[in-house]
């Protein structure tokens, strides 16, 4: 949508999409908005069964409320009418699909909890202790393996779990009893009975925590197969017998149809796409992920996507001279993989699952378009690749490296791209882009800076017709400023004094008629026209210096994002 709507605010962090994401299958439901005199009409397709509109006045909260005024409009769409004179409201569609997390490879010393932050809302297998504490602090639900009730220390185990009960998604009871039974009906009956016994004992201590199991083989071929009493979630393996996505989809759709015949009305499904090279090439795995996600949005019985697996088969830590703890190279993507690579180490598949996870967690936001927000984390092991282009102006004295830092938001070590300008400009950019609207976002901090001079840090221009705005976050004599750069060198707004090692998050929007918006640390601080000073096409630039670089700075970037899908 190209015309901004007064007081029907966008979620700034949800407007950045990668170029390849524009061809995403349109299995979801998209919100639209139109202006009708003094009202905003927010609508989405009818009947869109199992979707509901929610709103919030504050994007920093997790408390979304139903929009009670929903009705069916004359055009056959669900719609609400909201006066534009009211305070800003943020709208999203939320459906039955609520959970996203990876199979139990995610338990390695809390490593994947750091790596998956922001796009996973449950983690499997991390028992009581530091990893579970870290996951809860980052807003993740916990899936614990059910305890062994034959253990003489069972009470100690139950007591250790008890403080986490309100943050649990489920107890995982058994993996693939239909496979373990090996076609033996009597053995299957024993396994299913043991699950029922386990659940009955769990409910005595944890009556409100659901129970889960997986099915993976020809469960329908047993004449005594049943879903055990007390099971709430069934995860169905959807890997495929070959790499072909079409064949795989036919197989898991058939399994799904058969599984539903055994379910009661309260039970729900998690789909488990294969996310390791044993089930196809990276491009095939991406297509399989798209097929699962597209279908999951349409089936009210599917509440989660649960890919297998996050970590790869093995890592050659010894040859790299790196201690990997329990064999998993936490937050280090440079160590050679031995055997099949999984989602963590297939960068395009990881990026796609990041989008899917963010979309499931956030819901379909107003004006976000197809797909979820795109974001690039800059924590190594290598310098940014395509689409980013490196550039140095005025000399080559600047340096770029990967830096470890303690991240207070995570309570753990993180990595950033550290850019030093020297006496020149040292930046990364994308362009030229013939786009009339663009947005860029970043999380960054100044590690060191000279007290005088200017240095562009985060910059944006659009297609010029013949001129367009050129807003930038710029360090000016020790202050952060919203600045006009390119063929100008003037200020728009003072954002406050620069302080070393203080993180800031900025989202910068520009339109070629001069409209500029800046969200600074979660607040919309500028929403006005800016001078038309750019005669060139659109560019996104970030680093230490672009057009103005007579200061000396060292800047850490945790992530950057850009896009134009509004």
Q: Per-residue pLDDT tens for 327-346?
A: 777 777 888 999 999 999 99
pLDDT at 507 over 90: no
Residues 189 and 260 in one domain: yes
> Per-residue pLDDT tens for 252-264?
999 999 999 999 9
Determine the straight-line distance between the first and last CA of the chain, rounded to whole angstroms.
Answer: 5
Residue 457 · residue 498 · CB < 8 Å: no
Predicted local distance difference test score (pLDDT) of residue 483: 93
CATH at residue 71: 2.60.40
448 burial class (0-12, 13-18, 19+ CB within 10 angstroms)?
A: exposed
Q: Which of 67, 94, 121 is the last residue of a domain?
A: 94
Query: Distance between CA 209 and CA 25 in Å, rounded?
Result: 34
Percent of the chain surpassing pLDDT 70: 83
Mean pLDDT of 375-396: 68
Residues 211 and 325 in one domain: yes
> Per-residue pLDDT tens for 89-134?
777 777 788 899 998 754 454 567 888 888 899 998 778 998 899 8
Pairing assessment for the beta strands 141-145 and 122-124 based on DSSP bridges: parallel
pLDDT interval class at 1 (50, 70, 90): very low
Residues 223 and 314 in one domain: yes
Determine, yes or no, domain membership for 540. Answer: yes
Residue 254 · residue 263 · CB < 8 Å: no
pLDDT at 27 over 60: no
Instruction: Provide the residue range defining the domain that includes 494.
Output: 389-563
Residues 528 and 465 in one domain: yes
Determine, yes or no, domain membership for 527. Answer: yes
Report CA-CA distances (Å) from 208 to 199, 230, 232, 520.
Answer: 12, 11, 11, 41
pLDDT at 61 over 80: no
Residues 419 and 345 in one domain: no
Closest to 312 in 3D by CA, of 355, 259, 275:
275
Determine, yes or no, domain membership for 379. Answer: no
pLDDT interval class at 22 (50, 70, 90): very low
Give one DSSP letter per residue of 28-43, joined into a string. S---EEEEETTEEEEE
Average pLDDT along the chain: 82
pLDDT at 472 over 90: yes
Query: 529-559: string of b/e by CB count within 10 Å (b at 16+)?
Result: ebbbbbebebbbbbbbbbbbbebbbbbbbbb
Residues 64 and 86 in one domain: yes
Residues 194 and 227 in one domain: yes
DSSP 389: E
Closest to 521 in 3D by CA, of 504, 533, 508, 509:
504
Query: Distance between CA 505 and CA 520 in Å, rounded?
Result: 6
Determine, yes or no, domain membership for 522. Answer: yes
* 55-64, 237-246, 275-284, 462-471: segment of lowest average pLDDT: 55-64
> Per-residue pLDDT tens for 422-446?
778 888 888 888 888 888 888 899 9
* pTM (global) more than 0.85: no
What is the number of structural domains in the chain? 3
Give one DSSP letter per residue of 400-460, joined into a string. EEEEEEEETTTTEEEEEEEEE-TTSEEEEEEEEE--SEEEEEEEEEEEEE-SSSEEEEEEE
Residue with structure tokens 């076609």? 183
Pairing assessment for the beta strands 268-273 and 302-305 based on DSSP bridges: parallel
Residues 227 and 310 in one domain: yes
pLDDT at 302 over 80: yes
Determine, yes or no, domain membership for 531. Answer: yes
Residues 229 and 119 in one domain: yes
CATH at residue 190: 3.20.20.80
Predicted local distance difference test score (pLDDT) of residue 396: 72
> Per-residue pLDDT tens for 172-190?
999 999 999 999 999 999 9
Determine, yes or no, domain membership for 380. Answer: no
Residue 336 · residue 315 · CB < 8 Å: yes
Q: Which of 94, 119, 138 is the last residue of a domain?
A: 94
Query: Distance between CA 13 and CA 29 in Å, rounded?
Result: 19
Residues 128 and 70 in one domain: no
Percent of the chain surpassing pLDDT 90: 40
SS3 541: strand
Predicted local distance difference test score (pLDDT) of residue 275: 95
16/82: higher pLDDT: 82
Query: Distance between CA 461 and CA 229 in Å, rounded?
Result: 60
* 113-122, 353-362, 371-380: segment of lowest average pLDDT: 371-380
Determine, yes or no, domain membership for 373. Answer: no
Residues 223 and 167 in one domain: yes
DSSP 377: E
Predicted local distance difference test score (pLDDT) of residue 70: 59
Residues 319 and 341 in one domain: yes
Determine, yes or no, domain membership for 497. Answer: yes
Closest to 149 in 3D by CA, of 208, 195, 104:
195
Predicted local distance difference test score (pLDDT) of residue 278: 93
């Amino acid at each position: 949508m190209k015309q901004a709507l007064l007081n029907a605010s966008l979620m700034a962090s949800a407007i950045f999409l990668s170029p390849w994401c524009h061809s995403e299958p349109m299995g979801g439901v998209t919100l639209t908005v139109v202006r009708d005199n003094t009202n905003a009409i927010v609508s989405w397709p009818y009947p869109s069964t199992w979707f509901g509109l929610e709103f919030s006045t504050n994007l920093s909260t997790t408390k979304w409320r139903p929009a009670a005024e929903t009705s069916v409009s004359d055009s056959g769409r669900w719609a609400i009418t909201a006066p534009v004179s009211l305070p800003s409201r943020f709208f999203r569609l939320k459906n039955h699909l609520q959970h996203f997390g990876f199979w139990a490879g995610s338990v390695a010393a809390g490593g994947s909890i750091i790596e998956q932050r922001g796009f996973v809302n449950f983690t499997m297998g991390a028992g009581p202790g530091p990893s579970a504490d870290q996951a809860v602090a980052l807003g993740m639900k916990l899936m614990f393996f059910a305890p062994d009730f034959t253990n003489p220390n069972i009470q100690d185990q139950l007591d250790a779990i008890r403080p986490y009960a309100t943050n649990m998604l489920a107890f995982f009871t058994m993996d693939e009893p239909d496979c373990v039974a090996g076609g033996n009906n009597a053995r299957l009956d024993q396994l299913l009975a043991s699950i029922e016994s386990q659940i009955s004992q769990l409910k005595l201590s944890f009556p409100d925590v659901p129970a889960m199991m997986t099915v993976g083989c020809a469960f329908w071929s047993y004449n005594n197969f049943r879903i055990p009493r007390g099971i709430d979630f069934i995860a169905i393996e959807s890997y495929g017998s070959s790499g072909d996505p079409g064949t795989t989809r036919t197989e898991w759709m058939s399994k799904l149809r058969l599984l539903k015949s055994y379910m009661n009305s309260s039970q729900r499904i998690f789909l488990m796409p294969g996310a390791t090279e044993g089930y196809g090439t990276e491009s095939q795995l991406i297509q399989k992920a798209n097929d699962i996600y597209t279908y999951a949005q349409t089936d009210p019985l599917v509440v989660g996507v649960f890919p297998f697996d996050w970590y790869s088969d093995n890592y050659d830590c010894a040859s790299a001279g790196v201690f990997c703890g329990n064999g998993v190279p936490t937050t280090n993507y440079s160590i050679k993989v031995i055997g099949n690579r999984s989602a963590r180490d297939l960068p395009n598949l990881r990026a796609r699952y990041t989008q899917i996870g963010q979309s499931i967690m956030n819901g379909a936001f107003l004006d976000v378009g197809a797909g979820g927000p795109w974001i690039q984390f800059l924590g190594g092991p290598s310098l940014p690749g395509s689409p980013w282009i490196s550039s140095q102006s005025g000399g080559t004295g600047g340096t770029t490296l990967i830096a470890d830092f303690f991240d207070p938001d995570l309570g753990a070590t993180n990595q950033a791209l550290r850019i030093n300008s020297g006496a020149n400009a040292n930046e990364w950019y994308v362009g030229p882009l013939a786009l009339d609207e663009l947005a860029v976002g970043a999380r960054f901090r100044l590690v060191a800076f000279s007290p005088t001079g200017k240095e562009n840090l985060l910059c944006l221009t659009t297609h010029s017709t013949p001129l367009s705005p050129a807003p930038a976050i710029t360090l000016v004599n020790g202050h952060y400023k919203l600045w006009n750069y390119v063929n100008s060198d003037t200020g728009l707004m003072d954002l406050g004094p620069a302080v070393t090692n203080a993180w800031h998050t900025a989202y910068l929007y520009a339109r070629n008629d001069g409209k500029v918006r800046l969200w600074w640390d979660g607040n919309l601080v500028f929403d006005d026209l800016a001078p038309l000073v750019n005669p060139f096409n659109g560019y996104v630039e970030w680093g230490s210096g672009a057009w103005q670089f007579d200061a000396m700075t060292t800047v850490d970037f945790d992530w950057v994002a850009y896009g134009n899908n509004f």
